[in-house]
Amino acid sequence: MRVAVLGGDGFVGWPTALHLSAQGHDVVIVDSLVRRQIDGELDVQSLTPITSPKERRDAWKEISGRWIELVRIDLATDYDQLRSWLLTWRPDALVHLAEQRAAPYSMKSPRHKRYTVDNNVNGTHNLLAALVETGLDAHLVHLGTMGVYGYSSVGAPIPEGYLPVSIELPGGRRAEQEILYPSNPGSIYHMTKCLDQILFAYYAKNDGLRITDLHQGIVWGTNTPETLADERLVNRFDYDGDYGTVLNRLLMQAAIGYPLTVHGTGGQTRAFIHITDSVRCIELALGSPPAGGDRVKIFNQMTETHRVRDLATLIAEMTGAEIANVTNPRKEAAENDLVVENQQFLELGLEPTTLSAGLLDEILNVAKRYRHRVDTRHIPCVSAWTEEIAQALARERRPQLKVIGGEGD
Ligand code: USQ
């Protein structure tokens, strides 16, 4: 299959491009490389030393004999370039990860809010419009988020995208329907993924586009079998307060002797998936496309749920790290339960990689190896959801780095 990975330079995109290439697909990365620019804007770097786009693709060629082309297009702004590239390359499938994916980054300022909406919504819409204009019948697989649902399950499992409802009609009869599960975004970033859902529903209905939306939980881990094949292929590991996600952050903090930053009581329950499973799910979704005219196919891409404080306790027990309950910069439920259906991927053959101590150790080791690259000023999450929270954060004393021994402890 000819597969384009849009956003293929990013945290999920890069291992996805490698995995699909290893499976024998013809892969091209389409990316504006903006994520590397944002590292510059925030003055942070990935914990792991990622190589340049050219060097990592050269290394892959050396190892696998397979070449991955890179096409620099900004989906949100370069519509004509996108359309002519589609007509030239004629992909069978597109994996769309080319969106600004950090909730804290999307909440930093009005500029960041506007950038996230402009980039994500225009990029997605340009892609849909270009598919219709070019008449290509490519399968579009989009990386959505579990966050479109909000995180409360009202005791019932969150279904895979569609909720059956029964509506009372005049005269006492009832109409049965399936509707998109009600959106309940918790940040501007999550809101853009809710808007994407409406765009997809419309284009599938009106133009018969074949679309799959993957509602993914929090990804943990850093390496996949392909990124482990050579140091130059190493994947990103974001640890900073904007792009770092909770489990990887807590492991990095434990590795350097920084108190584990639990927001509030840590009662937030979230869905998780290991990076290897994330990549495997994308492969499975590509192999199981909807037919033209079908409604959008929606999968819940997660394998387990955990409460933040339970993760912190587990890591503290493993490593002796301290836990710091800090002011939560977000406006979110302090405590929630979460039950999620993920039957579709299990039926397609996904064998979940769950959070076993062995794998946590592996990530701890990555973090220990590169701890000299951590800039502790960038660890706290300082992007506040409201002005009131920003003021509370400004009054708070930050956790301090505990001095620990040298390499190898
Ligand atoms: N949290 C802490 N301490 C930290 C960092 C986070 O307690 O040091 C808490 C947050 O307050 C939140 C939870 O951990 O309650 C998850 O935060 P996160 O930064 O790990 O995840 P989130 O912002 O939700 O976003 C991440 C990805 C996003 C993806 C989403 C899936 O960045 O691209 O869509 O996970 S989900 O969370 O299921 O919506």
DSSP 8-class letter at 286: H
CA 217 to centroid of ligand 1, rounded, Å: 9
If you search the block for the tokens 């133009």, which residue do you land on?
Answer: 207
DSSP-H helix ranges across 330-405? 343-347, 357-369, 387-395
Q: Is the CB of residue 134 less than 8 Å from the CB of residue 209?
A: no
| Cβ of residue 236 lying under 6 Å from some atom of ligand 1 | no
DSSP-H helix ranges across 208-328? 246-256, 275-286, 308-319
pLDDT band at 154 (very low <50, low <70, confident <90, very high): confident
Closest CA to ligand 1's atom 30: 218
CA dist 302 → 112, 149, 178, 213, 288 (Å): 28, 13, 22, 13, 18
More confident residue, 402 or 201: 201
CA dist 381 → 222, 261, 262, 299, 385 (Å): 21, 9, 10, 30, 11
Mean pLDDT of 287-309: 97
Identify the CATH number of the domain in which residue 240 sits.
Answer: 3.40.50.720
Mean pLDDT of 241-263: 97
Rounded Cα distance, 232 and 267, in Å: 38
Whether residue 272 is contained in a domain is answered as: yes
Question: Which positions ≥6 away from 264 have C-beta within 8 Å?
Answer: 325, 326, 327, 328, 334
CA 246 to centroid of ligand 1, rounded, Å: 6
Whether residue 71 is contained in a domain is answered as: yes
Rounded Cα distance, 91 and 8, in Å: 15
pLDDT confidence of residue 155: 84
Q: Is the CB of residue 73 less than 8 Å from the CB of residue 32?
A: yes
Whether residue 378 is contained in a domain is answered as: yes
3-class SS at 388? helix
Percent of the chain with pLDDT strictly greater than 70: 98
Q: Is the CB of residue 178 less than 8 Å from the CB of residue 165?
A: yes
Would you say the C-alpha torsion 396, 402, 408, 409 has a positive or negative sign? negative
Give Cα 393 to chain centroid, integer Å.
26
Which residues are registered as beta bridge partners of 269? 307
Cα angle 237-358-407, degrees, rounded to a multiple of 5? 60
3-class SS at 260? strand
How many domains are contained in the chain?
1
CA 295 to centroid of ligand 1, rounded, Å: 29
CA 348 to centroid of ligand 1, rounded, Å: 27
pLDDT higher than 60, residue 407: no
pTM: 0.96
Q: Is the CB of residue 91 less than 8 Å from the CB of residue 4?
A: yes
Mean pLDDT of 365-384: 96
Rounded Cα distance, 408 and 369, in Å: 8
Closest CA to ligand 1's atom 26: 218
Rounded Cα distance, 127 and 112, in Å: 22
pLDDT confidence of residue 354: 92
Structure token pair of residue 50: 């990622």
Strands (E), 33-116: 69-71, 93-96
Whether residue 122 is contained in a domain is answered as: yes
CA dist 55 → 67, 139, 345 (Å): 12, 30, 34
| Cβ of residue 300 lying under 6 Å from some atom of ligand 1 | no
Closest CA to ligand 1's atom 14: 246
Atom in ligand 1 nearest the alpha carbon of residue 243: 32
CA 169 to centroid of ligand 1, rounded, Å: 41
If you search the block for the tokens 């769309």, which residue do you land on?
Answer: 96
Mean pLDDT of 109-132: 98
Closest CA to ligand 1's atom 34: 145
Give Cα 32 to chain centroid, integer Å.
17
| Cβ of residue 328 lying under 6 Å from some atom of ligand 1 | yes
- Residues with active-site annotation: 145, 189, 193
Rounded Cα distance, 375 and 379, in Å: 7
Rounded Cα distance, 143 and 325, in Å: 31
| Cβ of residue 399 lying under 6 Å from some atom of ligand 1 | no
| Cβ of residue 355 lying under 6 Å from some atom of ligand 1 | no
CA dist 238 → 46, 49, 201, 234 (Å): 5, 11, 32, 13
Atom in ligand 1 nearest the alpha carbon of residue 264: 7
CA 173 to centroid of ligand 1, rounded, Å: 43
In terms of phi and psi (left: phi > 0; alpha: psi -120 to 50; beta: otherwise), the region of 321 is beta
pLDDT confidence of residue 405: 47
Range of the domain at 13: 2-404
Residue-averaged pLDDT of the chain: 96
Which tens digit of pLDDT belongs to each residue from 377-399? 999 999 999 999 999 999 988 77
| Cβ of residue 7 lying under 6 Å from some atom of ligand 1 | no
Mean pLDDT of 207-229: 97
Burial of 206 (0-12, 13-18, 19+ CB in 10 A): exposed
Structure token pair of residue 100: 């600004």
pLDDT confidence of residue 404: 53
Q: What is the CB neighbour count within 10 angstroms for residue 280?
A: 23
| Cβ of residue 268 lying under 6 Å from some atom of ligand 1 | yes
Which tens digit of pLDDT belongs to each residue from 22-48? 999 999 999 999 999 999 999 999 999
Which tens digit of pLDDT belongs to each residue from 160-181? 999 999 999 999 999 999 999 9
Cα angle 327-335-322, degrees, rounded to a multiple of 5? 50
CA 297 to centroid of ligand 1, rounded, Å: 25
Whether residue 356 is contained in a domain is answered as: yes
| Cβ of residue 201 lying under 6 Å from some atom of ligand 1 | no
| Cβ of residue 246 lying under 6 Å from some atom of ligand 1 | yes
Whether residue 409 is contained in a domain is answered as: no
